[in-house]
Amino acid sequence: MMERAAETSPRVKARVAGALYLVIIVTALFAEVFVRGWLVVNGDAAATAANILAHQPLYRLGGVADLIAFVCDAGVALIFYDLFSPVSGSVSLLAAFFRLVHVAIVGVTTVCHFAPLVFLGEAHYLSAFSRDQLQALAMASLKLHTLGYMVALVFFGFHCVLTGCLIWKSTFLPRTLGTVMAVAGFCYLTNSFASLLSPAIAGHLYPWILLPGALGEWSLTAWLLCVGVRVPSARAVSP
């Protein structure tokens, strides 16, 4: 009985990681596309402020969805470290470190998501600022939120590249998944560095540069949920 439980443990962990990854995908898409993507009007602070104030519950829910995604991200980082440690303990640890740094940065950056609610509130101390100034501060906080995401994606990109290498070297996941995850990581890195170095170039690349990333993460999620890992090989890796 103990041996059977030990054999199924890697598969169970893989399924849990897949479930957490699915939650990450759903909550992140909701927050970024259906909340900020709908309410934030690029270049128009007044319209953005009006949208946020008119849909405060939805806007707050978007921030909470982000936090749920980050908690799940931390869980995935630890499970992946456990699963891939037999492949390479040092590389697996480094991959987990990069993902946890990503979580830390985006977690702090979420303050910038909630900041517009402070600037656009009706607190007495805000009367020192004009309405236009407060709307500009709200928009600036959202720009800082985007900047924080770009910085965090640098670390997440390295995590994906290392995870792809670990999958490629392992014998319990298809090498195709390793390839698409490594490509996803390089795409995230390209997007982030382009955004930080030359926003004009990044504007031409976005959103197409992120599509391979989505393909890689969604493919890995689907495999972990539907198949898991090959249990007989989960502890026997290729040399």
- Whether residue 31 lies inside any domain: the answer is yes
The predicted model gives 218-233 an average pLDDT of 83
Give residue 202's pLDDT band: very low, low, confident or very high (50, 70, 90): confident
Query: What confidence score (pLDDT) does residue 236 get?
Result: 46
- Whether residue 118 lies inside any domain: the answer is yes
Distances from the Cα of 89 to the Cα of 59, 83, 85, angstroms:
41, 10, 4
Number of domains in the chain: 1
Q: Is pLDDT above 50 for 146?
A: yes
Q: Is pLDDT above 50 for 239?
A: no
Query: What confidence score (pLDDT) does residue 231 get?
Result: 62
- Whether residue 239 lies inside any domain: the answer is no
- Whether residue 238 lies inside any domain: the answer is no
Amino acid at 160: C
Query: What confidence score (pLDDT) does residue 136 get?
Result: 96
CB-based contact 80:171 (threshold 8 Å)? no
**Domain of residue 133, residue span:** 7-233
Query: What confidence score (pLDDT) does residue 233 get?
Result: 47
Give me the helices (H) in 30-88, please: 37-39, 45-54, 56-84
The predicted model gives 124-128 an average pLDDT of 89
d(CA 82, CA 54): 45
Give percent of the chain above pLDDT 90.
78
Which stretch, 7-16, 122-131, 179-188, 229-238, has highest mean pLDDT?
Answer: 179-188
- The structure's pTM equals 0.89
- Total Cβ atoms within 10 A of residue 60: 15
Give residue 232's pLDDT band: very low, low, confident or very high (50, 70, 90): low
Give residue 201's pLDDT band: very low, low, confident or very high (50, 70, 90): confident
- Whether residue 2 lies inside any domain: the answer is no
- Whether residue 215 lies inside any domain: the answer is yes
CA-wise closest residue to 161 among 143, 183, 176, 142 = 183
Q: Is pLDDT above 50 for 172?
A: yes
